[in-house]
Structure 1
Amino acid sequence: MRKKSTTEFQTRLWEAVNAIEQDSRVEVVVVIRPRSEHYRDIALLWGIVAAWLSFTYLMFAPELFEDWLIYDAPLFAFVVGYLIANIPCLTRLSIPQARLRRNVEIIARALFQKGGIQHTRAKTGVLIYCSWLEKMVYILPDRGAEMALPAEEWQTLRAGLQSVFSGGEPRERLLEQLHQARPLFNRYLPPVARDMNELPDNVEIDL
């Protein structure tokens, strides 16, 4: 069921992107990733704190413990803390928002360059990058698209895309935002005759 749901969403996503490209000169690429960084340092920190708390309790508790427990309990606590820290919501809460935003922007810009989104003839490529763990969406337009739309329109578009994670059903909200962007791009970058689709909608970019 999960695979079927994912495939259905992917199909609807391609249809939404294709509709934008049919009605405008914009070349939209949507990339969705589970996370922008592994944040292993956060998991290590959780493990170290858990091991330290465990060892402190064993050393200062009024009860007497076997020697093996004093050695093994902190190791076990470290593993538990490390695993718990990998729960997405706890990882996200353990990291400053500035770091989350910076990592999302870095990956988005890397995807933009490596994916060749800047190579369209009219410079109208637009990357929409969704990072699930960080719950952030970063939109990166090429200069042709950026200059065609007024700054306030880009601000509205960015705010709408960022609201994807503000409620339930982020996939549905993403599709909704894409549908709302369609007339906006059509207004400022209407289609021209013999316009080619220069970027694949399902581009795979390895970093």
Structure 2
Amino acid sequence: MRRAFTSTVLSAIETAIRRSEATHRGEIRFAVEGGLAWSDLRRGLTARQRAAKVFSDLGVWDTAGNTGVLIYVQWVDRRVEILADRGIAACVPQAEWNAVCHGLEQAFKAGRYAEGCTAAVDAVGQLLATHFPAGADNPDELPDRPVLL
């Protein structure tokens, strides 16, 4: 995981998030996890369920406008999940998020990690800008730096 997500790649993702958040009122978090713990695997925990836990742990739900979005990558399985807070989920259909996930998974298969991640952030940003364009008060409530779990 750390060979694919070098400091250069993490910086590129952070820059993409910062650039994206200037165009909308949403908050994007990007998290990469090597894999699930053995106990989680035994319980049959899915990538989606783990993403929901990370969504909570990182406080993505805790924005003033309920406009947080988590891009979660489970590295071992190359699974990608996008979870949106209720303010966004009511406006953006799940099929839109699934398309972004699929694009990122395809980029991973091709070994295009930085390009795939920044393209996913840009795609999420475009969806957010459509429904939640930037306003006069556009606070930055969550860290932009991706997190490796």
Q: TM-score, normalised by structure 2?
A: 0.81
Please say if 1:199 is aligned against 2:142: yes
Shift of 1:23: 0.5
Q: Which has the larger radius of gyration?
A: 1
Higher relative contact order (CA 8 A, sep 6+): 2
Pair 1:38–1:11, CA change in 2 (3 A)? same
Aligned to 1:10: 10
Comparing 157-166 and 9-18, the one that deviates more: 157-166
Structure that is richer in helix per residue: 1
Partners of 1:176 and 1:160 in 2: CA distance: 8
Equivalent pairs: percent with the same residue? 26
**Of residues 50, 54, 74 in structure 2, which corresponds to 1:131?**
74
Shift of 1:14: 0.5
2: CA distance, partners of 1:33 / 1:151:
22
Question: What's the counterpart of residue 106 of structure 2?
Answer: 163
**Structure 2: gaps spanning 5 or more residues:** none
1:162-203 deviation digits (Å, cap 9, x = unpaired):
333332223321222222333232112101111111111237
Does the 8 Å CA contact 1:136/1:165 hold for their aligned counterparts? no
Q: Identify the residue that residue 52 of structure 2 maps to in structure 1.
A: 109
* Count of residue correspondences: 146
Say whether the 8 Å CA contact 1:148–1:188 is kept in structure 2: yes
Distance in 2 of aligned mates of 1:115 and 1:183: 23
Q: What is the alpha-carbon root mean square deviation over aligned residues?
A: 2.8
Report deviation, 1:205: 8.6
After superposition, residues 12-161 of structure 1 pair within 5 angstroms as 12-38=12-38, 99=44, 102-161=45-104
Q: Relative to total residues, which structure has the larger strand share, 1 or 2?
A: 2
Are positions 1:172 and 2:118 aligned together? no
Q: 1:8 to 1:158 in 2, by over 3 A?
A: closer
